[in-house]
Structure formats: structure tokens, C-alpha cells
Amino acid sequence: MTGEQDRFAKGVLLEARGIKKSYKRGDNPFCAADNISLSINPGEFIGITGRSGSGKSTLMNILAGLMTPDEGEVFFEGKSYKKMTDRELSALRCNGLGYIMQGLSVLPNFTVYENILIPEWLDRRRKSSPKDILKAMKKVGIAHLKRQYPSRLSGGELRRVSIARALLSSPKLLIADEPTSDLDEETAENIVNILSDIAREGVAVLMVTHDREAAAKCGREYQMKNGVLT
């Protein structure tokens, strides 16, 4: 084990230390993530709330390794993203870390089944069996929609397609950015329950939400305010 890994508390899955990220609007730089530190253990269900524009998605993109912070470091199982190549980072997103980005991420001309398989078409290292795919669809209750096209699905069903797709990579951490936005109360609750069950089965879940009720179901809750996480 390297010295860097030694500094890790045993079992910590993801750790972010002193993350800073500024953007420029016109000539004025502003801080979208301001000295954020966070650690996530296996099986934890963590919620992040905060006003629009407070920097939540910026932080999620950094934690998922899609965006490089100006300062600070993110470690997954003790390994710093700074020390990973692009290839290693994308392999991480294929294996250890599932990321459900904000907004809808299904392609309209593909069926539910095909949409779930898209990451595997893009990455030859992955090859799930039809049994794995069915298992992921059953877990979120969309097996019966396998051959449907997205235009025939409800908002809640579309979210479940995104969750099934993320689950297919058997992640240890699932990051979901606003998985309940634009859903009615009951459907939102259903999505949160699915995520909570996933966490109970040992996958850490980090959920961004505007929904206070959803956040109340999390084991740990943070608030983001002008780039600061409290």
C-alpha cells in the first residue's frame, strides 16, 4: 500500500479534499465550489440540497471525474484522480462509479433495453449478459417496458431507465443529480425509495435534490450555499 493510501481511513470509498472551482462570467470570476471536503463510506445514502446555481452539479461533475477542480483532490478507494489517466477515469465510471447526470439522458430513437446498453456499445471492455440487464431493469421495475421507446414513457419511468443503466456497471458509488426533479410527489418518493434500497444493499448513493422530503430520507444531509457545502 502506498503512503497516500495509508492516510485513508479504512473503508472510505470516496474522499474529496479542499475542492475549489471558479468560473468566469464576463470578466468576473466566481467560485462555484469553495473549499469542499467530503468523504463517503460504502452503503451510505447522502443527500445534497441547495438553491439553483449553488454549485451542486459542478461538484458532482468533479466527484465523478468529469471536471478537474482548480484546487484540491478527489480520491476513489485511496487513488487520486490526479494520478489516473483519462482511460483509467473512464474505466472507473464503467466499473466503480455510476453517474446519473442532471436532466434526461435517454436517446429517443432507441428502446429502453438499447438505452440501457448504450454505455456498453461505447466501451468494449464491458459486456453484461442479458440476465444482468434484466436484473437491473427488474430492480427498478421497468422490465415490462424493455421494448418501448422513450416517447411512450412517463418522467418517472425515464428516470428509472437512467438508474438501471447506471446499475449495470455494478457501481460502488451511485451519484444521482436531481433524480426527482419534475416528478409528482408519489413518483419522486418511488425513485427515492429505489435509491434508498440500492444503498441498503451496500452501494453508496449521493443524491442531489431540491426535494426536502427526499433529502430527509438520507442518512446524512448537506446543504450547498454559494459553492460552500455545510
* 21 counts as binding ligand ATP under rule CB under 6 A: no
* 47 counts as binding ligand ATP under rule CB under 6 A: no
Q: Which of residues 102-121 bind Mg ion (CB under 5 A)?
A: 102
* 181 counts as binding Mg ion under rule CB under 5 A: no
Spacing of C-alpha 188 from chain mean position: 17
- Choices 57-65, 82-90, 136-144, 160-168 (CB under 5 A): range interacting with Mg ion: 57-65
Cell of 20: 475549489
If contact means CB under 5 to 8 A according to the sort of partner, which of ligand ATP, Mg ion, none does residue 109 touch? Answer: none
**What is the C-alpha to C-alpha distance for residues 95 and 21, in angstroms, rounded to an integer?**
26
* 32 counts as binding ligand ATP under rule CB under 6 A: yes
* 56 counts as binding ligand ATP under rule CB under 6 A: yes
Count CA atoms closer than 13 A to 10's CA, side-chain side: 0
* 69 counts as binding ligand ATP under rule CB under 6 A: no
Report helix, strand or coil for 23. strand
| Candidate residues 2, 52, 85, 230; the one interacting with ligand ATP per rule CB under 6 A | 52
173 neighbors 40 (Cβ within 8 angstroms)? yes
**What is the C-alpha to C-alpha distance for residues 47 and 228, in angstroms, rounded to an integer?**
15
* 223 counts as binding Mg ion under rule CB under 5 A: no
Q: Cell 418517472 maps to which residue?
A: 156
